[in-house]
Structure 1
Amino acid sequence: MVGNTVLGAIYLSLLDMILLIVFLFLIDGILRLFPFLNKISKYLKSRR
Protein backbone atom coordinates (compact mmCIF):
# COMPACT_ATOMS: atom_id res chain seq x y z
CA MET A 1 0.00 0.00 0.00
CA VAL A 2 2.86 2.39 0.80
CA GLY A 3 4.41 1.75 -2.62
CA ASN A 4 1.14 2.66 -4.32
CA THR A 5 0.86 6.01 -2.54
CA VAL A 6 4.49 6.87 -3.35
CA LEU A 7 3.99 5.92 -7.00
CA GLY A 8 0.76 7.93 -7.04
CA ALA A 9 2.51 10.99 -5.63
CA ILE A 10 5.35 10.68 -8.15
CA TYR A 11 2.83 10.22 -10.97
CA LEU A 12 0.86 13.29 -9.91
CA SER A 13 3.98 15.45 -9.62
CA LEU A 14 5.15 14.26 -13.04
CA LEU A 15 1.72 15.05 -14.47
CA ASP A 16 1.90 18.54 -12.94
CA MET A 17 5.36 19.09 -14.43
CA ILE A 18 4.20 17.95 -17.88
CA LEU A 19 1.09 20.13 -17.73
CA LEU A 20 3.18 23.12 -16.66
CA ILE A 21 5.67 22.58 -19.50
CA VAL A 22 2.85 22.19 -22.06
CA PHE A 23 1.17 25.32 -20.69
CA LEU A 24 4.41 27.31 -20.99
CA PHE A 25 4.94 26.06 -24.54
CA LEU A 26 1.39 27.12 -25.46
CA ILE A 27 1.87 30.59 -23.97
CA ASP A 28 5.21 30.92 -25.77
CA GLY A 29 3.61 29.88 -29.05
CA ILE A 30 0.72 32.31 -28.63
CA LEU A 31 3.09 35.18 -27.80
CA ARG A 32 5.15 34.37 -30.88
CA LEU A 33 2.01 34.27 -33.02
CA PHE A 34 0.73 37.68 -31.91
CA PRO A 35 3.27 39.81 -33.86
CA PHE A 36 2.71 37.51 -36.83
CA LEU A 37 -1.06 38.07 -36.65
CA ASN A 38 -0.52 41.82 -36.33
CA LYS A 39 1.62 41.79 -39.49
CA ILE A 40 -1.05 39.83 -41.36
CA SER A 41 -3.84 42.18 -40.25
CA LYS A 42 -1.80 45.25 -41.22
CA TYR A 43 -1.00 43.65 -44.57
CA LEU A 44 -4.67 42.90 -45.21
CA LYS A 45 -5.70 46.42 -44.21
CA SER A 46 -3.06 47.99 -46.47
CA ARG A 47 -4.29 45.92 -49.43
CA ARG A 48 -7.84 47.26 -49.22
Structure 2
Amino acid sequence: MAGRLFTNWWAKMGPYYTKAYPEIFVGLGIMEFLYYKLSYGGKKAVKNSK
Protein backbone atom coordinates (compact mmCIF):
# COMPACT_ATOMS: atom_id res chain seq x y z
CA MET A 1 0.00 0.00 0.00
CA ALA A 2 2.63 2.52 1.05
CA GLY A 3 4.91 1.42 -1.79
CA ARG A 4 2.21 1.95 -4.38
CA LEU A 5 1.35 5.33 -2.85
CA PHE A 6 4.98 6.41 -3.04
CA THR A 7 5.30 5.09 -6.61
CA ASN A 8 2.26 7.05 -7.73
CA TRP A 9 3.49 10.19 -5.97
CA TRP A 10 7.00 9.87 -7.43
CA ALA A 11 5.64 9.27 -10.94
CA LYS A 12 3.93 12.67 -10.74
CA MET A 13 6.45 14.65 -8.71
CA GLY A 14 9.76 12.93 -9.55
CA PRO A 15 10.43 14.82 -12.79
CA TYR A 16 9.64 18.10 -11.06
CA TYR A 17 12.17 17.50 -8.29
CA THR A 18 14.90 15.93 -10.40
CA LYS A 19 14.69 18.12 -13.51
CA ALA A 20 13.42 21.45 -12.26
CA TYR A 21 15.89 21.81 -9.39
CA PRO A 22 18.87 19.49 -9.93
CA GLU A 23 21.16 21.96 -8.16
CA ILE A 24 19.29 21.25 -4.92
CA PHE A 25 20.60 17.68 -4.91
CA VAL A 26 24.16 18.87 -5.55
CA GLY A 27 23.84 21.43 -2.78
CA LEU A 28 22.46 18.86 -0.35
CA GLY A 29 25.33 16.52 -1.12
CA ILE A 30 27.90 19.23 -0.51
CA MET A 31 26.20 20.33 2.71
CA GLU A 32 26.06 16.75 4.00
CA PHE A 33 29.76 16.30 3.25
CA LEU A 34 30.67 19.54 5.01
CA TYR A 35 28.50 18.64 8.00
CA TYR A 36 30.26 15.28 8.25
CA LYS A 37 33.68 16.89 8.07
CA LEU A 38 32.82 19.53 10.67
CA SER A 39 31.06 17.16 13.05
CA TYR A 40 33.41 14.20 12.93
CA GLY A 41 36.58 15.73 11.55
CA GLY A 42 36.59 13.10 8.83
CA LYS A 43 37.65 10.49 11.40
CA LYS A 44 36.09 7.09 11.72
CA ALA A 45 34.57 6.03 15.02
CA VAL A 46 37.20 5.16 17.60
CA LYS A 47 36.68 2.10 19.76
CA ASN A 48 36.75 2.70 23.49
CA SER A 49 39.83 1.08 24.99
CA LYS A 50 40.13 0.33 28.67
Larger relative contact order (Cα-Cα within 8 Å, sequence gap ≥ 6): 2
Task: Give the alignment's TM-score, normalised by structure 2.
Answer: 0.40
The structure with the largest helix share of the pair is: 1
Task: Give the alignment's TM-score, normalised by structure 1.
Answer: 0.41
Q: Which has the larger radius of gyration?
A: 1
